Structure 1
Amino acid sequence: MTLLKPAAAPTAVPVAQPVRRIRVAGVFLLTVAVIVVLAGVHLTQGTSSVGAGDLLRLAIGQGADGSASILVASRLPRLLAGMLVGVALGVAGAGLQSLARNPLASPDTLGVNAGAYLAVVVFAAMGINLPTLPAGGVAFLGGLAAAMLVLALSAGGASGPTRLILAGSAIALAMAACTTLLLVLFQEETVGSFTWGSGSLVQTDLVAVTQMAPVVALGLIAAVLLAPRLDILALGDDTASVLGVNVRRTRALITLVTVVLSAAAVTVAGPVGFVGLVAPVIVRLVAPIVPGLMRHRLLLPMSGLAGVIVVLGADVLLRMALGGKAGVEIPTGIVTMLVGAIVLVWLARRYRDSGPSRSAGGGTRAGLRTRRTFAIVAGLLVVLVIGAAVVAMLAGDSWLRTGDIANWLNGRSGRAITFVLDQRFPRVVAALLCGAALAIAGATVQAVCRNPLAEPGILGITGGAGVGAILTLTFVPAAGIWLLSGSAAAAALATFAFVYAISWRGGLSSDRLVLIGVGVSAAATAVITFIIVYADPWNIAMAMTWLSGSTYGRTLPQVVPVAIALVVLTPFLVHARRELDLLSLDDDVPRILGVRLERTRLFALVCAALLTASAVSAIGVLGFVGLVAPHAARALVGGKHARVLPVAALLGAALVSLADSIGRTVIAPAQIPAGLVTSMIGAPYFVYLLWRTRRTPV
């Protein structure tokens, strides 16, 4: 298996360096000075006309009552919330990175924020309005459950950053799907939770800050007290045990402390993205010129201060660029997520592959199957797809009979039946075609990456297509399907080209490609949310529809590009089936057999990008289909792509069609977007894959 090794030296080396107290004191003073400047600028920003001069006069006792009320009621709570969130997430991120010995660990990549957010929304959907402290306890339990699951699936983070990121992304996506489902079903009870769920610093009073501040302070004290153990733990579990550190207890305590800090931050401002990733990175960049800064009694509080700079800097930049009103409507977490995605991409660029190549099929155990097995499986799947299509035509808020479909096909159905089936037929076709397109794209991506856990969404292709489509819908509302599909395809190809180019470093590393794709995908999600909230902050339904994937309101012209993409691109991929088989082995065998490795990779990924773009333009962002269908296909018919591609296409079509039928019937007349159903089906399967191979790096 392939492992990712850091290009830099192990953390144990800088930890052992002596502390240069003058330099450390200078860095701390400089950091505090930067925070003071940012805080001063932050207080002058807002929707009112109160400026710096008014605040200075207020400071010397000459200000007006209006200035004082604005300062106390709005600006000061927002500033203190940003500082509290920055400290909490910065320390939590540094603790999690030391715990996992992985610079890519953070409350986001370990799913802590997603778990805490889901737990809070569950109670909101139940109509239970929790006070601040109980809400913090609920967030803690949700975050702890998510962190423990991700760490278990990634062997504590020791099995490599790729597995850690994939496990965290899967858990976060599954929890986000559950959260979005609750937001859709309980819109009145969860009003305002969508914007808050992107990380908003808007505060109406000081209650949340004053009640969570002691929790954050206790968490910071506990983290500093555990710092000596973290220093020893950085030397390795065996060495730490020899030196008298109870490794299991230390890991449990650090996990509890970091989750408490993350839950406190979520309680105050929602999940502010990637602060816990960026802040420790900033400290580590400064550490080479400040000997001893990597010791945890300095690293942890310094990361907290760096987190304050990240949060306040993002908030200041947001309101400076877009004005005070935008600072209320647009969550600060969108900016921090964009910054964090850039840092994640940069960190992934610094890693290199080492160790033997993956086994065939991306590490799957798919052996050869007989032609008879393939024929039986294919025949059964054809029947399943036909059955799923028939059920989809019959299912809905009103169930029909098969005779109604026969009469409709012959033009003899009544007006009401004709209207219903005319509405359902394009949805059924869209689900079938988009499911097949995403499954074929997923099988192609997994072959090229030699990773059974990769998919177009993880590589950022789905997110890029979504950005192109949502830009067109927002700024050209009257755009036709061809302009929409063309925009999605162009954006998907541009995103793919960017990920591919950035991943190239003396050759294409599959692990680096996946990690960079995850970062770009996060950035694309932030961009989509920003565009929708900025262009139409009240149209939250549009955001959730696109981010969840829905066939609602589809028409036949809208699915024509998907059909064309399947008809044109699938034969090319089938023709390249031998090359895909060889690509899934390693880099050496294809070269020996005369395969032009890079050209074949590029061609295959371009086809995958176009298939994905056509599906996204038709029904939005649909998760897990490109992961589950190809893996299940290999388990059924073996690893040869001559069989995997058609079986995966049939499985993908059946999965999306059944998901759409379930979404239209389970709570009829209300509807659940198909993407949420596929996420809730696919996420447990993905967790199962990770658990089954948890001791194996991917």
Structure 2
Amino acid sequence: MTAVKKNWLIATGLVVAILATLIVSLNLGVIRISPIEILNTFTGNGDGQNEMVLFHFRLPRMVIAILIGAAMAVSGSILQSVTQNDLADPGIIGINAGAGFSVILYLFFFQGNAFEGTDLSVFLMPIASLVGSTVAAVLIYAISWKNGVSPMRLVLVGIGINSAFAALIIIFQLKMDPKDFTRATVWLSGNISGTDWVYVLTLLPWVLVLIPLVIMKAGTLNTLHFGDEVAAGLGAAVERERRILLLIAVALAGASVSVGGGIAFIGLVVPHLARKLVGSMHGALIPIAALMGALLLLVADTVGRNILAPSEIPVGLVVSAVGGIYFVYLLMKS
């Protein structure tokens, strides 16, 4: 079997797995809906309760999980290639924390109005998040610069920036009223409960535009993955391309954080798993990572929503439970 056929087979298998998980997840919950009832509802023959549960609560939440999972996985893939560091992840090197701090500032100054989910507030949150994630990335890049950017120095500086933003987040959280403090805490833990189609429309353009753009830059990522000297020898404008790709990674992570909060480790774990399946060539790696990220977060949300029903575990905590173990494994391996 050729590599191309193998990659298409893997991609098809992941799409089938996502669809199967969607069906199972639509069925599970406090209100159980059988596959036949799901089919009837989608064909317009279901009852009002099932229609509300499926179309207003479960389905938009699942679409959000798919979009965030894909965006975070691609963001992590970019960062690992650009920094040439297998431990790079937007949640570890401070990009998520910068985005989170910016959104916390936005929520703090709006005094809870942004939590009400009005169209304007929801659409402004990714912009606020992008500002914070960009500031974090610029700080990381500037402090890391010393006759170029050392991949290890960039990650270490990122960890320091992550800690600084985490402290600032806590300071502003403590100044919120108790209701907003609780909401912000849940959101920061990585929570997509209560998301609706407005949130989908907020995140969808970022994913539809930026992920295809990354796939178009697969050749550049391939050269950067082999080091700056090799990339420069092949004619790549190393620093310019690195900045462009970092900006794309920052935008994907920032948009995801604005909707789902601090969901970490997707960008760390998924690129490693994808490379084991299809290798390091980014023309195949990026689409497979996007599909794997979507599947992983969808499964994690289904588990978090049902394992302690009617209570829920934020999807970010479910992912962290698995991702944290994998992170320790990678540290021991390296």
> What's 1:446 paired with?
80
> What's 1:520 paired with?
161
Residue 540 of structure 1, CA deviation: 4.6
Contact map agreement 1:423 1:553 (CA 8 A) in 2? yes
Residue deviations 1:648-687 (CA, integer Å, cap 9, x gap): 0011001111111001100000000000000111122222
Residue deviations 1:501-536 (CA, integer Å, cap 9, x gap): 111111111111101111111111111222111122
- Which structure 2 residue ranges, 5 or more long, are not aligned? 115-120
Matches within 5 A, 1:74-153: none
Matches within 5 A, 1:681-692: 681-692=322-333
Query: Counterpart amino acid of 1:373?
Result: K
Residue 559 of structure 1, CA deviation: 2.3
Q: Provide the rounded CA distance (Å) in 2 between the counterparts of 1:417 and 1:625.
A: 32
Residue 538 of structure 1, CA deviation: 6.0
Name the larger-Rg structure: 1
Residue 690 of structure 1, CA deviation: 2.5
Check if 1:396 corresponds to 2:37: no
Residue deviations 1:557-599 (CA, integer Å, cap 9, x gap): 1122321111111122111111101111111111111100000
Contact map agreement 2:90 2:264 (CA 8 A) in 1? no
> What's 1:206 paired with?
none
Q: Provide the rounded CA distance (Å) in 2 between the counterparts of 1:389 and 1:522.
A: 36
TM-score normalised by length of structure 1: 0.46
> What's 1:493 paired with?
134
Residue 378 of structure 1, CA deviation: 1.1
Residue 539 of structure 1, CA deviation: 4.8
Residue 456 of structure 1, CA deviation: 0.9
Check if 1:459 corresponds to 2:100: no
Contact map agreement 2:92 2:264 (CA 8 A) in 1? no
The SS at the match of 2:89 is coil
CA RMSD of aligned residues (A): 1.4
TM-score normalised by length of structure 2: 0.94
Query: Counterpart amino acid of 1:447?
Result: S
> What's 1:643 paired with?
284
> What's 1:419 paired with?
52
Q: Decide which structure has greater helix share.
A: 2
Check if 1:475 corresponds to 2:109: yes
Contact map agreement 1:431 1:660 (CA 8 A) in 2? yes
Residue 541 of structure 1, CA deviation: 2.7
Query: Counterpart amino acid of 1:395?
Result: L
> What's 2:144 paired with?
503
- Which structure 1 residue ranges, 5 or more long, are not aligned? 1-368, 694-698
Q: Provide the rounded CA distance (Å) in 1 between the counterparts of 2:254 and 2:286.
A: 18
Matches within 5 A, 1:291-690: 370-421=3-54, 422-476=56-110, 477-479=112-114, 480-537=121-178, 539-690=180-331
Residue deviations 1:369-399 (CA, integer Å, cap 9, x gap): 8222212211111111111222222222232
Contact map agreement 1:462 1:616 (CA 8 A) in 2? yes
Q: Provide the rounded CA distance (Å) in 2 between the counterparts of 1:534 and 1:575.
A: 44
Residue deviations 1:19-43 (CA, integer Å, cap 9, x gap): xxxxxxxxxxxxxxxxxxxxxxxxx
Contact map agreement 1:466 1:546 (CA 8 A) in 2? no
Residue deviations 1:328-367 (CA, integer Å, cap 9, x gap): xxxxxxxxxxxxxxxxxxxxxxxxxxxxxxxxxxxxxxxx
Residue deviations 1:392-429 (CA, integer Å, cap 9, x gap): 22222232111222222222221221221121111101
Query: Counterpart amino acid of 1:439?
Result: A
The SS at the match of 1:669 is coil
The SS at the match of 2:304 is helix
Give % identity.
Answer: 38
Contact map agreement 1:529 1:543 (CA 8 A) in 2? no
